[in-house]
Structure 1
Amino acid sequence: MNFGLKLWSTNADVIDKAACLIKEDVFQYIELTPIPNTEIDPFLKQDVPYVIHITTERHGFNIADESKWDFNIQVIDECIEWADKLNAKYLVLHPGFGSIDKSLDFLQMIDDDRILIENMPKIGLYDEQMIGYSPEQIESLMGSKFGFCLDLNHAVKAAISLRLDYKDFISEFMELNPSYFHIADGRLNYEKDEHLAIGKGEYDFEFLKNLMRFANNTQVTFETPRMDLNSFSDDIRNMNILNQISTNR
């Protein structure tokens, strides 16, 4: 299992620390989200493995919004340019909120087989109707062109909204053969996205780790809180906790 550190392009001040942890093999790659109007140069200086997470709805990006398609294309093109320059293995993409048909139409315009479609909660932070919350929707969005990033936290949240057993629901997602994962802990009585440290919520990480163990070339990015933005000690603590969890079932 390879573990990744999550950074945004506004975190240029800590890229040297992050790169040291990669070179020491504490973590194995950086998942980097390019934020509009930031520079790639600090990240080019570090010869480490990257994955790009395409800019999200926090910055106005939504592939289901037809009125924003020109902006969305511009954002994706810029992220692809970053991925090319950083030799990134994957680009992770949120499928948006609103109409899945609009998202499917938009994806017809995109052609890069490094793109992984990420599953989402059913209900957004502001009560949006999210796209890609079920295995059926993800399979449709992937089509024959794209791969799959399984966000385990999002899957649990969608299961809560749908009143389904989250373990059975995640097992259905696993049939789509993800090899890239996002993890965080959370509560089982709250359907909206949250990112708790491993062990601070209610998820069964023995079960989740056991599932990830059987994926091919598993890459796992921690989406857990960082109390000190200049330190990765919380990431290391979360990784150590996950490593100590037994998968003997």
Structure 2
Amino acid sequence: MIKLGSHVSFKKPTYLVGAIEESLDNNANCAMIYLGPPQSTFRVKPENYLYNEYLNKYNNKILNEDIIVHAPYIVNLSNPDKKEFSVNFLIEEIKRMNYINAKYLILHPGAYTKYTKDEAISTLILNIKEILKQTKDVIICLETMAGKGTEIFTNLDDIKYILNEINNNRVALCLDTCHIWDAGYNIKNYEEFKKIIKDYDLLKYIKVIHLNDSKNEMGTHKDRHANIGKGFIGLESLKLFVYDKDFDNIPIILETPYIENKSPYKEEIALLLDNKL
């Protein structure tokens, strides 16, 4: 089964109900939300989410496990200076996810800033292990990054090392097509890319895909999303992810830019579901 959706709004007064209604209007069967502003710690109490109303109206249309939650950008689990804040915030965020029985948390692994990359990787591993000890159920999906600035988790060697060191079935991978392309991996040569992923034994870790075109050529480390078919990756290459049997039942989420302040997701979902490959 193809699971295809997008980032949708999660805000008062409708919260979860409004997010799922927006997704269904886009003809999506999965969704991604932030539980509050991506650049802020502000969160409302889970009792405000209208979870029971969602269950009564829409749980048979978009399941709890297909409502993906993205962590805010302000946490940095790779920076020792931000350890206490980042760990404590994510523990509470996972508890909020438990309230709605959401399964996957997408997390940017962070940046090393003034530290070395090795110090950052060690810090990330220790911090994730601590979060796992103090939470339950939710699977943390570390997102592949483009490599702008001092970001980590941008090459497959480091990704494999980090996943192996954590060694926990509650830690997985979110593959972002724009990021992996900008990091220097040629996903337009799809069969070769899939072979590389399999050679690294990473296919089994991919639990969510962010499907985005890129405004930049491969390897530029820019991280600027383009609309589907409007960038350097192209529609036909992105469709291959959608129709790949290895990614059946894996939520595929669009994060492409709004066009003239309007959501493009209904049109882009229709474009991707046109099965002319």
SS in 1 for 2:237: helix
Report the counterpart of residue 199 of structure 1 in structure 2. Answer: 229
SS in 2 for 1:101: helix
Q: 1:104 aligns with which of 120, 125, 134?
A: 125
Q: Are 1:31 and 2:32 counterparts?
A: yes
- Give the TM-score of the pair, scaled to structure 2: 0.74
The structure showing larger relative contact order (alpha-carbon pairs under 8 Å, at least 6 residues apart) is: 2
Gaps of 5+ in 1: none
SS in 2 for 1:27: coil
Residue by residue, what CA displacement relative to the aligned partner does 1:27-82 show, whole Å, maximum 9, x if unpaired? 122212223222141353423432211222xx2x1001111111011221121012
CA contact (8 A) 2:9 2:19 kept: no
Report the counterpart of residue 68 of structure 2 in structure 1. Answer: 51
**After the TM superposition, which residues 52-131 of structure 1 pair with which residues of structure 2 at under 5 Å, given as runs?**
52-56=69-73, 59=74, 61-98=75-112, 99-111=120-132, 112=136, 114-123=139-148, 128-131=149-152
RMSD of the alignment, in Å? Answer: 2.6
SS in 1 for 2:49: helix
CA contact (8 A) 2:213 2:230 kept: yes
Aligned-pair CA distance for 1:129 = 1.4
Report the counterpart of residue 3 of structure 1 in structure 2. Answer: 4
Aligned-pair CA distance for 1:171 = 4.9
| Seq. identity, % | 21
Counterpart-to-counterpart distance in 2, 1:15 and 1:77: 21
Q: 2:215 aligns with which of 187, 190, 196?
A: 187
SS in 1 for 2:253: strand
Which residue identity is paired with 2:202? L
Residue by residue, what CA displacement relative to the aligned partner does 1:156-192 show, whole Å, maximum 9, x if unpaired? 0101xxxx53444565346412231001111343431
Counterpart-to-counterpart distance in 1, 2:260 and 2:96: 27
Aligned-pair CA distance for 1:204 = 3.4
Q: Any runs of at least 4 consecutive aligned residues in structure 1 with deviations exceeding 4 A, and if so which? A: 8-17, 21-25, 168-171
Change (3 A) 1:15 1:24: same
Counterpart-to-counterpart distance in 2, 1:131 and 1:169: 20
Report the counterpart of residue 217 of structure 1 in structure 2. Answer: 249
Report the counterpart of residue 161 of structure 2 in structure 1. Answer: 140
Residue by residue, what CA displacement relative to the aligned partner does 1:170-226 show, whole Å, maximum 9, x if unpaired? 653464122310011113434311121112112133233324422242211110122
CA contact (8 A) 2:109 2:143 kept: yes
- Give the TM-score of the pair, scaled to structure 1: 0.81
Report the counterpart of residue 116 of structure 2 in structure 1. Answer: none
Counterpart-to-counterpart distance in 2, 1:25 and 1:9: 15
Change (3 A) 1:246 1:14: farther
SS in 2 for 1:179: strand
Q: Are 1:158 and 2:183 counterparts?
A: yes
Report the counterpart of residue 226 of structure 1 in structure 2. Answer: 258
Residue by residue, what CA displacement relative to the aligned partner does 1:217-245 show, whole Å, maximum 9, x if unpaired? 2211110122476x64x110111111225
Change (3 A) 1:211 1:197: closer
SS in 2 for 1:51: strand
Change (3 A) 1:77 1:32: same
